[in-house]
Amino acid sequence: MTREYLSLIVGESAVKFAPAAMKIWPTVLLAGLLAGAARGTAPLTLYVSPEGSDAAAGTLAAPFRTLERARDAVRRASPDAKGDIEVHLRGGIYPLRQPIEFGPEDSGRDGHVIRYEAYEDEVPVLSGGVVVAGWTRDHGEIYRAPLARSTKLRALFIDGRRAALAQGPKAIRASGPWGTFTIRGAERWAETPGTALDGLRFPASALAPCADPESVELVQRHAFNELIVGVRAMRREGGETIVQLQQPYGAIAASLPWGCGLDPRGAFVVRNAGELLQAPGQFYFDRSHGMLYYYRDGEDLARANVVAPASLGLLRVRGRSRSERVHDLEFRGLAFAYDDWQLMELDGARGFVGVQSLGLADRYRADGNHHEDHYQGLDLPQGTVELGNCERIAFVRDRFEHLGSGTAVSLVNDVRASDIDGNLFYDLAGNAVNVGHPQHYDDHSALFSRSRWGPCTDDRVRDNRVRRCCLDFVQEEAISGFFTRGLVISHNDIQGTPYGGIALGWWWGNSGIPPSRVPRDNVIAANRVVDTQQVLSADGGSIYVLGEQPGGQIVGNYVRGHTRLLYPDDGSSGWTIRANVAEDGLLWFHAWTDRIHGLQVEGNYTNTPEALNRAAGVILRGTRFEGQAPPWSPEAEAIVGGAGLESSYSNLP
């Protein structure tokens, strides 16, 4: 990899490479290092470099080449280590073709920590991408290059800039449904029998059949969700093009209620077909011939760094149960870049189908009502980094950039006392951080066995900067959570999101099922959240909560933007909402139904007089309206100044 390529990911000033040539020491030296650590005579420190060798000793002069080799060396040493173990990664690119796995055997022991961290100020990049070279002109400004892969390509990066899937200049309105897809109810993904549309009809003048229909995606947006469904076949019938959907995701999408389901007469963005490659900055990958096409946007492709994501995620930290967790691991100063995601999969069908946030449907119900099954039919999208059954895991001052997963860091299940602290999240297909799972509503889970099931507890998401997130999956919020306990979301700096900024909680007051007794004592404090709802603006809020959450606090946040700024939705209760500054909102406070109750709302500052308060028994106490702000009063200005990154993290990019 070139120095120029690395600089596109992490910045030129941070790039330092290990020496190009290194003396390779015999592996017997590694055994000596491990023995010394076991005797307690010296702390164990290992080194890794892209210029190293996995046959080397793991020293500064003779580093390993891969993180996996260092992990395995740590496994040998940790049972007898008498202190922390540190693995220093030199700057450069560490190519991954599949996620690196960490299990219980990779845990720190006896109160000590195992730490994987950048060496000095160098930037190691765990990259799931492959470089695409050999570009030649196909015709006009469209160039092509060979790419060896068998799956759809959903993202491409040219000189660090995200390219776009090929699509037409405007959305196309469908003429109506086509065909019937029958669900018996016995399928592994079905909860009830039923019928649904099997396809859609489009005017042939607006959409002709594509040569590679199985790569085509249809995208439809509603007030607060976005559906992505795959195509299995296309054909011409008279003056129409028949588009058959990949099933069962087409049926699941069509069954969603609350105005969120696929509208067979609505507008669709049709994308990822060679016939639609019509504008600069777009790409299309022809799987049948292994050829990538790019409509040049002024780049010199002979010199450009072109990267195609390949690895399905980059890192997995997973215990085996609540009694066999991974623990005491830290990842510091690393960069995670260029991972791939092929959307949710059911029986070969692909899609992104859900009514809100990261709760995606993966089971069919004729009524589409996911409350009825206690959210057993909901799952999460793939995370670049996924954690489960673990505790005291930390990601500190890392960089998550140019990613394709549905979320960058996903604390999926039974993650305890862990920190996502002081990281940069930039240029993400999905959101930055998600904590918890819809199937934590109660302990009857289709996905997690009783020995594994556990809500995420006492975790902290602090001092992170989030920019350019949810670029593909626009219904997600920058930071989200489901049924959590003791979660602290504080001092994050979030700006410019397609939908919400921070969303925490699940379950609606009109759902017909009891509120979950899992969530409590969650805190959303001192965050800076501005300019949300840039794409989906008809609903949602900058800080949005759901469900009964006793002991919850929304305190000291600075929220700005022309939307609903502080939004406790249907069934919310248990929150104290105090000393926040809400600037330039459509509504500074939004509580639209009397199923919202038990809120303490007091001492907030706003320059927006409009609020909606239909909550039962809730009084907006001591609200200070400062119509000319900014500038704000000294009291409000202190809140504004204290929100966002703390001073020790002010040097984040």
Q: Break the chain into its structural domains and give their ranges.
A: 18-90, 129-166+277-307, 474-653
- 334-363 mean pLDDT: 97
| % of the chain residues with pLDDT over 70 | 93
- Give Cβ neighbours of residue 46 (< 8 Å, ≥ 6 apart): 33, 58, 59, 63, 64, 70, 73, 74, 85, 86, 87, 88
- 148-160 mean pLDDT: 97
608 contacts 588 by C-beta, under 8 angstroms: yes
395 contacts 331 by C-beta, under 8 angstroms: yes
Scanning the structure block, which residue is given the tokens 């190691």? Answer: 124
What's residue 316's pLDDT?
Answer: 98
Residue 386 CA, distance from chain mean position: 10
Scanning the structure block, which residue is given the tokens 């060979």? Answer: 146
**How confident is the model over 236-272, as pLDDT tens digits?**
999 999 999 999 999 999 999 999 999 999 999 999 9
Given pLDDT bands bounded at 50, 70 and 90, which one contains residue 22? very low
- Give Cβ neighbours of residue 372 (< 8 Å, ≥ 6 apart): 365, 512, 513
Given pLDDT bands bounded at 50, 70 and 90, which one contains residue 290? very high
The better pLDDT of the pair 17, 168 is held by 168
**How confident is the model over 497-518, as pLDDT tens digits?**
999 999 999 999 999 999 999 9
From the number of C-beta atoms within 10 Å of its C-beta (0-12, 13-18, 19+), residue 68 rates as: middle
From the number of C-beta atoms within 10 Å of its C-beta (0-12, 13-18, 19+), residue 638 rates as: middle
Residue 227: pLDDT over 70: yes
- 337-355 mean pLDDT: 97
What's residue 39's pLDDT?
Answer: 41
Given pLDDT bands bounded at 50, 70 and 90, which one contains residue 364? very high
Using CA atoms, how far apart are residues 61 and 59, in angstroms rounded to an integer? 5
Using CA atoms, how far apart are residues 122 and 480, in angstroms rounded to an integer? 31
**Peptide bond preceding 653 in cis form (omega within 30 of 0):** no
From the number of C-beta atoms within 10 Å of its C-beta (0-12, 13-18, 19+), residue 286 rates as: middle
84 contacts 114 by C-beta, under 8 angstroms: yes
Q: Which of 339, 278, 342, 272 is nearest to 307 (CA)?
A: 339
Calculate Rg over the CA atoms of the chain: 25
Residue 77: pLDDT over 70: yes
Given pLDDT bands bounded at 50, 70 and 90, which one contains residue 5? very low
- 76-80 mean pLDDT: 89
**How confident is the model over 391-401, as pLDDT tens digits?**
999 999 999 99
28: left (phi over 0), alpha (psi -120 to 50) or beta: alpha
Given pLDDT bands bounded at 50, 70 and 90, which one contains residue 81? confident
**How confident is the model over 31-56, as pLDDT tens digits?**
444 444 444 445 699 999 999 999 99
**How confident is the model over 570-603, as pLDDT tens digits?**
999 999 999 999 999 999 999 999 999 999 999 9
- 100-125 mean pLDDT: 96
Using CA atoms, how far apart are residues 1 and 628, in angstroms rounded to an integer? 54
Residue 26: pLDDT over 70: no
Q: Which of 108, 117, 126 is nearest to 316 (CA)?
A: 126
- 452-469 mean pLDDT: 98
Using CA atoms, how far apart are residues 363 and 360, in angstroms rounded to an integer? 9
What's residue 535's pLDDT?
Answer: 97
196 contacts 183 by C-beta, under 8 angstroms: yes
Residue 210: pLDDT over 80: yes
519 contacts 487 by C-beta, under 8 angstroms: no
What's residue 80's pLDDT?
Answer: 83
Output the six-digit token pair for 62: 């003779």
**How confident is the model over 127-142, as pLDDT tens digits?**
999 999 999 999 999 9
What's residue 286's pLDDT?
Answer: 97
CA atoms within 13 A on the CB side of 619: 2
What's residue 541's pLDDT?
Answer: 96
Q: What is the mean pLDDT of the chain?
A: 93
Q: Which of 285, 281, 320, 273 is nearest to 299 (CA)?
A: 281
Residue 438: pLDDT over 90: yes
